[in-house]
Amino acid sequence: MEQLIIATKNKGKVKDFRNLFSKYDITIKSLLDLEENIPDIEETGKTFEENAALKAETIAERFSLPVLADDSGLEVDALGGRPGIYSARFAGLEKSDQANIAKLLEELKGVPEEERTARFVCVLAVARPGQPTIFKRGSCEGRIANHPIGENGFGYDPVFYPNGLIKTMAELSSEEKNQISHRKNAIVQLEKWLQDL
Ligand SMILES: O=c1[nH]c(=O)c2ncn([C@@H]3O[C@H](COP(=O)(O)OP(=O)(O)OP(=O)(O)O)[C@@H](O)[C@H]3O)c2[nH]1
Ligand SMILES: [Mg+2]
């Protein structure tokens, strides 16, 4: 069984990754599992790719090991693609899922169902000491609900209906989410690299 460091402090992502990587027989170590406290990496990039690279390369350099990072977010068409890379900090730096959802629903007040289209985007960066960083992008299309439903998942999952489903992402089990999610659609593109790990 191999171990892979994921440069994240987001517990929801860690849960998704543990589940997604179990089939490759890879165990995950996140920044929350390390003994030393890693200072927050400032996400100063203007794209998912730039921020994913910042996180992966900072940690890969520090430990001289291959590191995966995930930069992800929700693009809402009626908001011109916002919150996008700012999804975690949409309602402020304290990164509250509940406040983010409230702000999103407020901004979409009165927007009819057919115009509430959106997608989750996940960019994975794999940084390895002395080698160029690899990027893979996955997405999941859907639309924004009128109110939150469901207890599973994290972030905006309770207000996101994946296309073709009558359940929000937060009403799906981890296994169901991980069959269709943006994160899953990015990881499958890393399959070859994961097998060589
Ligand atoms: O409902 C959701 N289901 C998902 O599957 C999902 N994936 C991403 N997101 C949103 O996008 C932000 C990422 O921002 P982000 O990539 O900067 O991560 P983060 O700051 O939370 O942690 P870190 O990995 O940077 O440590 C998150 O906080 C969420 O708001 C999701 N919401
Ligand atoms: Mg972040």
Residue ID of nearest Cα to ligand 1 atom 16:
71
Average of pLDDT values for 97-115?
98
CATH topology for 2-195?
Answer: Maf protein (3.90.950)
- Residue of 191 and 77 predicted with greater confidence: 77
> Cα–Cα distance between 144 and 39 in angstroms, integer?
34
pLDDT tens-digit readout, 6-34: 999 999 999 999 999 998 888 899 999 99
Task: Give the H/E segment covering residue 1.
Answer: none
Q: Active-site positions?
A: 71
Residue 86's closest CA among 65, 64, 68, 104? 104
> Cα–Cα distance between 195 and 119 in angstroms, integer?
29
pLDDT tens-digit readout, 138-160: 999 999 999 999 999 999 999 99
Given the CA of residue 10, which atom of ligand 1 is nearest to it?
22
**pLDDT for the residue numbered 1:** 67
Average of pLDDT values for 86-92?
97
ipTM above 0.85, yes or no: yes
**pLDDT for the residue numbered 133:** 97
Protein residues placing their CB within 5 Å of the ion ligand 2: 88
* All structural domains of the chain with their residue ranges: 2-195
CA 88–ligand 2 middle distance (angstroms):
6
Q: What is the DSSP letter of 148?
A: -
Residue ID of nearest Cα to ligand 1 atom 11:
73
Average of pLDDT values for 44-53?
98
**pLDDT for the residue numbered 7:** 98
